[in-house]
């Protein structure tokens, strides 16, 4: 039997919390406005950002809602969130043990995280903390195509080797669609889907930070990550870099 590829673990992001904050993009306002409108949420709503990380999604929710609760299991990630999004209520916890009473929020949002905890238990917990007809929104950023200017063959080879050492990142869980499986027979209605595309222009240091924040890289020792960053600086010239992103948004509500 052919061995399955090693997967990167979901619990190493705290080692790259600062890189995550620097390198990961924020969510476009048009995406959030579209999802919020589709779920019929008003500014008086209370919402939960589950698996909030450093608050990349949380900061887009705070100006839109009266109460925003951010639940994140990793202490290092949560410390950054509390620093950059002080107006959110930050709590330790995870999707299978959400530290909220029954019927506490009008909607749950999850950005770049749902694939790590897509289980029957997690969906039951989401249903528990939601009010009747409460909404659930799931969002992912997916990189499209190559960088502009393109990376050299040597840089591509270096990245391939580093990813192989750390294991397959979580994106394959998203693209495989396995995260949908717990919705069959759950308390939620059918998922609605919409896609948005945009170009992101960044500099080399932000790009390197994004690379280091991927689960495959975050799991590796600090000295290995620092060596990779230095090698990339030698292979990739400074200046602007552009990449196309596809934002995929899903939403549903309690039946």
pLDDT of res. 6: 67
Q: Which of 10-14's residues contact partners 24+ apart within 8 Å by CB, and which partners?
A: 10/116, 10/170, 10/215, 11/73, 11/74, 12/215, 12/218, 12/219, 13/53, 13/74, 13/77, 13/213, 13/215, 13/218, 14/74, 14/75, 14/76, 14/77, 14/218
pLDDT of res. 101: 98
**Is residue 37 one of the residues assigned to a domain?**
yes
**Is residue 129 one of the residues assigned to a domain?**
yes
CA torsion sign for 215, 117, 81, 26 is: positive
**Is residue 24 one of the residues assigned to a domain?**
yes
pLDDT along the chain (255 residues), means of 10: 53 85 94 96 98 97 98 96 98 97 98 95 97 98 88 95 85 87 95 95 95 90 94 95 94 96
Q: Which of 221-229's residues contact partners 24+ apart within 8 Å by CB, and which partners?
A: 222/15, 224/162, 224/165, 225/16, 228/158, 228/162
**Is residue 97 one of the residues assigned to a domain?**
yes
**Is residue 221 one of the residues assigned to a domain?**
no
State the total domains in the chain.
1
pLDDT of res. 75: 96
**Is residue 235 one of the residues assigned to a domain?**
no
pLDDT of res. 12: 72
pLDDT of res. 3: 40
17 lies in which domain range? 13-147+169-199+243-253
**Is residue 207 one of the residues assigned to a domain?**
no
pLDDT of res. 2: 38
**Is residue 160 one of the residues assigned to a domain?**
no
pLDDT of res. 172: 80
Backbone angles phi, psi at 233, to 5 degrees: -65, -30
Token pair 């939601």 in the structure block, residue: 130
CATH number, domain with residue 91 = 3.40.50.150
């Amino acid at each position: 039997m052919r061995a399955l590829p090693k997967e990167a673990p979901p619990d190493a992001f705290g080692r790259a919390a600062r890189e995550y904050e620097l390198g990961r993009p924020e969510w476009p306002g048009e995406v959030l406005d579209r999802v919020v409108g589709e779920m019929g949420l008003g500014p008086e709503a209370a919402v939960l950002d589950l698996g909030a990380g450093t608050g990349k999604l949380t900061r887009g929710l705070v100006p839109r809602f009266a109460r925003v609760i951010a639940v994140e299991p990793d202490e290092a990630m949560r410390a950054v969130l509390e620093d950059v999004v002080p107006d959110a209520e930050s709590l330790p916890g995870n999707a299978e043990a959400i530290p909220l009473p029954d019927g506490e929020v009008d909607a749950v949002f999850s950005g770049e995280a749902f694939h790590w905890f897509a289980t029957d238990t997690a969906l039951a917990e989401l249903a528990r903390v939601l009010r009747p007809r409460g909404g659930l929104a799931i969002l992912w950023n997916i990189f499209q195509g190559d960088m502009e200017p393109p990376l050299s063959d040597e840089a591509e080879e270096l990245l391939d080797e580093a990813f192989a050492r750390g294991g397959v990142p979580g994106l394959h869980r998203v693209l495989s669609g396995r995260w949908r499986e717990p919705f069959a027979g759950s308390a939620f209605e059918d998922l609605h889907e919409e896609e948005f595309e945009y170009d992101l222009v960044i500099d080399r240091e932000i790009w390197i930070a994004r690379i280091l924040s991927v689960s495959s890289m975050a799991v590796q020792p600090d000295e290995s990550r620092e060596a990779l960053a230095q090698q990339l600086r030698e292979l990739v010239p400074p200046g602007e870099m552009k990449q196309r992103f596809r934002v995929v948004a899903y939403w549903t509500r309690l039946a």
